[in-house]
Amino acid sequence: MNKEIITSRRTGDSCIHVKHSSGLDIYICEMQGFSGIEALIGTKYGSVNTMFKVAADSGYTTVPEGIAHFLEHKLFENEDCGVFELYAATGAMCNAFTSFDKTCYLFSCSKNYEENLKILLDFVQKPYFTKENVDKEMGIIGQEIQMTNDNPEWRVFFNMLGQMYHSHPVKTDIAGTIESISRIDAPLLYKCYDTFYNLNNMVLSIAGNIDADTVLEICDKHLRPCEDKGLETVFPDEPDDIVSPEIRETQPVGASIFQIGYKCRPATGIAHLKQIAAASTASSLLTDPALPMYDRLLKDGVINSTFCGELFYGNGYFTVIFSGESEKPHVIRAAMTEEINRLLTEGINEKDFQRIKKSAYGMMIRELNNVEAVANLMLGAHMEGVGPYDSIDILSELTSGDVTEFMKNEMHDGRCVLSVIEKEA
């Protein structure tokens, strides 16, 4: 077993990384004195992974949209009983989620972490799919899809992605469509499980009041070795340009909502972390209540306190998104274009930059004292191919020039989409 101690050169925080003989990557952060424990096991398998092959395959397999989410639902049901019942007996809280590029199963507890970890490792290695339980789930997920289709926040987001991405499957709802999930059956679920739930494609992350040796002993007993199958995933070619600059839809909402998204060229590894740091700072420069653009739009009644920015990124996609309530989204888009051009021409005010950077850095440091955040940090970093503490180093080295360069290269009108859900007249 290969054990590596990873230490932040800036904060002194550390964690343990083990490449287990089963193929699983394991990250452990002992946080003595904390009362809670958070554990996640994740696979690099999300809604965008609809086309794949392993070394033994002659060609690529294409599966229905929404199957990763469907599989996540079914894995909680084993032949004997439901997983929620097992966790209820230990007093732990458990959950799972499927995103665009990963699926994770997790538990939180303050005691009995050894038993909870055994449950976690056991059920993710014991799929149980039958025609009966698949057909039953079909109706449940179908209702979930219909509910999200009626959700204005969901609609404004996916409408934007649909006008932003030509071919990348990120533009499709994580749960798929009623039509796509109707093509899912037990054999197909087993094929996806055997492909993506191979331990060589997965990572376990656990943080809190734990003992690393105990965690590894449990892993030794409950992990079954897997042969690396040489998994390959592929995506359609995606151009840099957008499909259309605007989309509108009318719904019975109390106030019109909008999203303005900038389609950016994705990066990987350390370059991806640099992109995140620059994009996040650029977003803050446009949404900070202390800066002139926000103040002007607020006084004019164009925006309210819901106006904010966020980043959306993953395997093959990266978007800077601004959203909120407004009856004048065109005015907001024009103001943002004007402010970006001003910052590129005049340069970023260094005091504003340092204030925003220090705030973001402080938030990163604070999260190192949060058990849940640390567990998610270790898992997320591994899936992005970087170290758990690399993002701290990257942010500390960020300059205003890096932010200017990002805005110049990525945040321009040619790759901007406005999505609006208008209230009915």
User: What was the pLDDT predicted at 77?
Assistant: 79
> Does the annotation count 424 as an active-site position?
no
Q: Do residues 89 and 83 make contact, with C-beta atoms less than 8 angstroms apart?
A: no
Predicted pLDDT at 79: 65
Show the low-confidence residues of the chain (pLDDT under 70): 1, 79-81
User: Helix, strand, coil % (nearest 5) of the chain?
Assistant: 45, 20, 35
Which residue carries 């799972």 as its tokens?
96
Cα distance between residue 394 and residue 414, in whole Å: 28
Distance CA 140, CA 121 (A): 26
User: What's the confidence (pLDDT) of residue 82?
Assistant: 77
Summarised one tens digit per residue, pLDDT across range 371-381 is 999 999 999 99
Max Cα distance, the chain (Å): 66
- Sheet containing 2-7: order of strands: 2-7, 14-19, 25-30, 202-208, 37-43, 103-109, 93-98
- Output the six-digit token pair for 385: 């191919």
Read off the pTM. Answer: 0.94
Per residue in 350-365, pLDDT tens?
999 999 999 999 999 9
* pLDDT computed for residue 267 by the predictor: 96
Q: Report the C-alpha gap between 256 and 152 in whole angstroms.
A: 9
Each residue's pLDDT tens digit, 380-401: 999 999 999 999 999 999 999 9
Q: Which helix (H) or strand (E) holds 406?
A: helix 400-410
d(CA 48, CA 234): 10
In angstroms, the CA 82 to CA 92 distance is: 14
pLDDT tens for 27-45 read: 999 999 999 999 999 999 9
Marked catalytic residue, from 38, 65, 72, 384: 72
pLDDT at 283: 98
Q: Return left, alpha or beta for 14; rule: phi > 0 is left, psi -120 to 50 is alpha, else beta.
A: beta
What's the pLDDT at 81?
66
Encode pLDDT of 55-108 as tens digits: 999 999 999 999 999 999 999 877 666 788 899 999 999 999 999 999 999 999
Query: Residue 425: its pLDDT value, please?
Result: 74
